Amino acid sequence: MKATKKEATAFFKARAKDFGFDFCGFAKAEFLEDEAPKLENWLKQGMHGKMAYMENNFEKRLDPTKLVPGAKSVVSLIYNYYPHKDLNNEGNYKIAKYAYGEDYHFVLKEKLKSLFSSFKEKYGEVEGRVFVDSAPVMERQWAQKSGVGWIGKNSLLLNRSMGSFFFLAEVILDFEFEYDGPIADYCGTCQKCQDACPTDAIPQPYIVDASKCISYLTIELKEQIPEDFGGKLDDWIFGCDICQDVCPWNRFSKKHKEPRFEPHEQLGDLSRQQWHEITEDVFRELFRNSAVKRTKYAGLKRNIDSASLP
């Protein structure tokens, strides 16, 4: 079906909303020229730590047509995960809010595939791929280009009406839409995220040294956590929300409407002692479909041991 860019853009946005996405923006698929030197410099400084995969596919990270030949558009979408209840109590071990419920990779991938299918049903054969943090896509940069938010000083995407407790997802396809433009940066002089980080992982605004980030240390790092960080984990044993929790824009966070993001009923009840005594069977039951499985049982035990250091 032949349609105007305006009609196709409106249709895609409306269907995205039907599938639970809060925001949807469109950018022209082109080489991210401004990002190339920034990414190269970040890698040269070793701020990616042991994440060797960050050095791979350099061109693919910057050029969406390397991922989808003939790509014309990058559609960026936001999906809320802000929980109904904060399970992280002072004095107890903490996990990042995004990992409370079912693994977002599965939840969002299903929705994206259905969304893309409904678009193809309406507009005929369209080539493209959907992405949920699963390929070398610079998702925050594309989201910024498409106007769904701006990249904050903690390097996360911020949205004026939602804060930052949301997932990003993309559809790269060979279809032209009406494109959005970037919005202003509303961080101003605030540096709460920098000041609050216990490991000094944000050495300067908009630059995160991932090798010092608690999320990296408790998830991505497969070796022993260096003793230097042991007493600085602030009880985080999977991921970290500190730079989001202190961000003033997150006062606008609204509770999610996704049943699959609801936590296991026992997750908020474990005492500090019970975390230390957690068995592999309990780990499997609590985190059966959770992103926490990424760190594996041994990794979680390592994180608990490190977080308990004085």
User: Between the CA of residue 196 and those of 31, 191, 270, what are the distances in Å?
Assistant: 35, 9, 26
Q: Could you identify the residue written with the tokens 């979408």?
A: 77
Catalytic one among 133, 180, 235, 305?
A: 133
CA separation for the pair 33, 64 (Å, rounded): 12
Helix (H) / strand (E) element for 244: namely helix 242-245
* Cα separations in angstroms, 114 against 21, 111, 117, 131: 12, 5, 5, 13
- As to burial, measured by CB atoms within 10 angstroms (0-12 exposed, 13-18 middle, 19+ buried), residue 241 is buried
**Would you call 133 a catalytic residue per the annotation?**
yes
Q: What is the DSSP string of 159-176?
A: BTTTBT-EEEEEEEES--
DSSP 286: H
The amino acid occupying position 100 is Y
Residue carrying the six token digits 């904050």 = 152
Q: How far is CA 24 from the centre of its chain?
A: 16
> Cβ-count burial of 155 within 10 angstroms (0-12 exposed, 13-18 middle, 19+ buried)?
middle
Q: Whose CA is closest to 182, among 141, 146, 156?
A: 146
Q: Is the dihedral of CA 195, 157, 256, 161 positive or negative?
A: positive
Q: What burial class does residue 136 get, using C-beta atoms within 10 Å of its C-beta: 0-12 exposed, 13-18 middle, 19+ buried?
A: middle
Q: Which residues are the active-site residues? A: 133
